[in-house]
Amino acid sequence: MSSVIVMQLRYAFRLYPDTGQQTALAKAFGCARVVFNDAVRAREDARKAEQPFPKAAELSTRLITEAKRTAERSWLSEVSAVVLQQSLRDAESAYRNFFASLKGTRKGPKIGPPRFKSRKDKRQSIRFTANARWNITDSGRLNLPKIGAVKVKWSRTLPTPPTSVTVIKDTAGRYFASFVIDTDPAADAERMPETDRTIGIDLGLTHFAVLSDGTKIDSPRFLRRAEKKLKKAQQELSRKQKGSKNRAKARLKVARAHAKVADARREFHHQLSTKLISENQGIAVEDLSVAGLARTKLAKSVHDAGWSSFISMLEYKAERYGRTLVKIGRFEPTSQTCSTCGVKDGPKPLNVREWACTACGTVHDRDINAALNVKTAAGLAVSACGAPVRPGAIPAQREETGSHGFPTESRAA
């Protein structure tokens, strides 16, 4: 009996709660934060006393059930119990990730132990699972327990019924509902047009991407274009007295300006990645050291391009739609090798945009030549007889499947 492969994605939509619902959400955010901090404090107290860590069931009883009966924590009853339970699970997950990082079994950089959440944190979130009895009404509103039916701006239809929803208030003061959706990659792949095209991509700063077919995609430079407005907003913030209402308004103005830049960049990445996945069966990209480049004088331009986010989108969309994505090593000399004869012609300064191969005399556009070499190094190029130049590519794999690692498929403005 064959097992069905299920892929989880997040679909995010803008929420517009009224004044009363915003107050109810603020209570839920605060209660979730308090329960999380109580769980971290209980763990830390046990560690300092050299006692075993309390179990999840014990923490649930002590920090939620019994706490509601006390005068100091009686207001926990004003929000959904599921929100509080999910906050406890978040604390447990944070500790598991920390210990896995210490043991070296968790991918990615080392992470520290969970820290207390502050009421001054501008980003807040709560999560409702299926047993919270939330639902989407016939009129298209999101009905949440002890909050009410919240207005939603639906930018697209959900492909399948969601399994959970996370309500988020971002640093710009906007509210979003993030739904977890189970998708079937096999069914999604059938919706993609059949193609045998393959492409190599050379990512850069002058052009965001240059394709091996000669297409050059300009870099929108969203941050650079908004710098003047951001600078003015930041200067206004710095002049406001700390703790004043005017400073809070100025901070919100800065956050909204940055959110506008981030949203525009994300939309650009989504449109381009979807187009490339739709038109090509195989895609090759270079595994860039973004963290290293971000420590150079090009840091602002590197962050503005958002290469990591773009490649992550290519990865999950390739897996979802049955395409092949290959990442080649970052030390592959794609800019030094002639894509015609394969002779390595040595390193060249960045101001050299065209060069002629000393062996065969072919004149190359630096970026197009690099994209062709990326495609060849990935094994997606074919020889004159139709055989692959190098061994075939392997399907892309996602590295993280935790709830916070789900890629966001769509987001309403």
Divide the 413 residues of the chain into consecutive groups of 10 and give the mean pLDDT of each group: 70 96 97 97 93 92 95 95 96 94 88 92 93 93 97 92 94 95 85 90 92 93 94 96 94 95 96 95 89 84 92 93 90 85 82 83 87 88 42 35 43 41
170 with 211, same domain? no
249 part of a folded domain = yes
pLDDT of 409 reads 57
409 is catalytic: no
179 with 234, same domain? no
| CA within 13 Å, CB half, 273 | 27
pTM for the full predicted model: 0.84
Distance of alpha carbon 397 from alpha carbon 316, whole angstroms: 8
133 part of a folded domain = yes
256 with 347, same domain? yes
321 part of a folded domain = yes
159 with 228, same domain? no
338 part of a folded domain = yes
Look up the CATH number of the domain holding residue 246.
3.30.420
pLDDT of 3 reads 55
367 is catalytic: yes
300 part of a folded domain = yes
pLDDT of 381 reads 61
254 with 363, same domain? yes
81 with 117, same domain? yes
Tell me how far CA of residue 302 lies from CA of 138, 168, 210, 231, 330, in angstroms.
Answer: 45, 28, 16, 19, 16
Which residue matches tokens 């906007």? 174
Q: In which domain, by residue range, is 89 found?
A: 7-183
pLDDT of 377 reads 87
- Out of 38, 202, 315, 319, pick the active-site residue: 202
400 part of a folded domain = no
63 with 165, same domain? yes
389 part of a folded domain = no
136 with 226, same domain? no
pLDDT of 176 reads 97
Q: Which of 154, 183, 212 is where one domain is finished?
A: 183
DSSP state of 67: G
| Strand, coil or helix: 164 | strand
360 with 212, same domain? yes
Amino acid identity of residue 381, one-letter, is A
Chain centroid offset of residue 312 CA? 8
- Out of 38, 90, 286, 319, pick the active-site residue: 286
243 with 148, same domain? no
202 is catalytic: yes
49 with 135, same domain? yes
Q: Which of 261, 15, 284, 28 is nearest to 132 (CA)?
A: 28
285 with 350, same domain? yes
Q: What's the total number of domains in the chain? A: 2
- Out of 304, 315, 345, 367, pick the active-site residue: 367
